[in-house]
Chains A and B, each alone.
Chain A
Amino acid sequence: EDQVTQSPEALRLQEGESSSLNCSYTVSGLRGLFWYRQDPGKGPEFLFTLYSAGEEKEKERLKATLTKKESFLHITAPKPEDSATYLCAVLPGRDDKIIFGKGTRLHILP
Chain B
Amino acid sequence: DAGVIQSPRHEVTEMGQEVTLRCKPISGHDYLFWYRQTMMRGLELLIYFNNNVPIDDSGMPEDRFSAKMPNASFSTLKIQPSEPRDSAVYFCASSPRPGLVTEAFFGQGTRLTVV
Q: Name A's B-contacting residues (CB within 8 A).
A: 31-32, 34, 36, 41-46, 49, 51, 87, 89, 91, 95-103
Closest residue on chain A to residue B101 by CB atoms: A32
- Majority SS of interface residues in chain A? loop
Q: Chain A residues with Cβ under 8 A from B42's Cβ?
A: 100-103
Closest residue on chain B to residue A6 by CB atoms: B42
Q: Let me know if A43 and B106 touch, CB within 8 A.
A: yes
Say which size band chain B's interface belongs to. 20 to 34
Q: Let me know if B109 and A91 touch, CB within 8 A.
A: no
Q: Name B's A-contacting residues (CB within 8 A).
A: 4, 31, 33, 35, 41-43, 45, 48, 50, 55-56, 91, 93, 95, 98-99, 101-109
For the complex, what is the distance from the CA of A100 to the CA of B12, rounded to whole Å?
Answer: 27
| Among B55, B91, B106, contact of A96 (Cβ-Cβ < 8 Å) | B55
Q: Chain A residues with Cβ under 8 A from B91's Cβ?
A: 43-44
With A43-B107, A100-B43, A102-B41 as given contacts, are A95 and B56 in contact (CB-CB < 8 Å)?
yes
Q: In the complex, how many angstroms separate the beta carbon of A4 from the nearest chain B beta carbon?
A: 9
Q: Chain A residues with Cβ under 8 A from B31's Cβ?
A: 96
- Majority SS of interface residues in chain B? strand
With A96-B55, A98-B45, A100-B42 as given contacts, are A43 and B109 in contact (CB-CB < 8 Å)?
yes
| Among B35, B56, B103, B107, contact of A46 (Cβ-Cβ < 8 Å) | B103
| Among B4, B43, B55, contact of A87 (Cβ-Cβ < 8 Å) | B43
Q: Let me know if A96 and B48 touch, CB within 8 A.
A: yes
Q: Let me know if B98 and A91 touch, CB within 8 A.
A: yes
A and B contact pairs by CB, cutoff 8 A, 7 listed:
A43-B109, A45-B106, A49-B103, A91-B98, A96-B48, A98-B33, A102-B43
Closest residue on chain B to residue A103 by CB atoms: B42
Closest CB pairs A-B (n = 4): A43-B106, A102-B42, A32-B101, A100-B43
Q: Let me know if B56 and A99 touch, CB within 8 A.
A: no
Closest residue on chain B to residue A35 by CB atoms: B103
Q: Chain B residues with Cβ under 8 A from A51's Cβ?
A: 101
For the complex, what is the distance from the CA of A31 to the CA of B95, rounded to whole Å?
Answer: 15
| Among A31, A46, A102, A103, contact of B105 (Cβ-Cβ < 8 Å) | A46
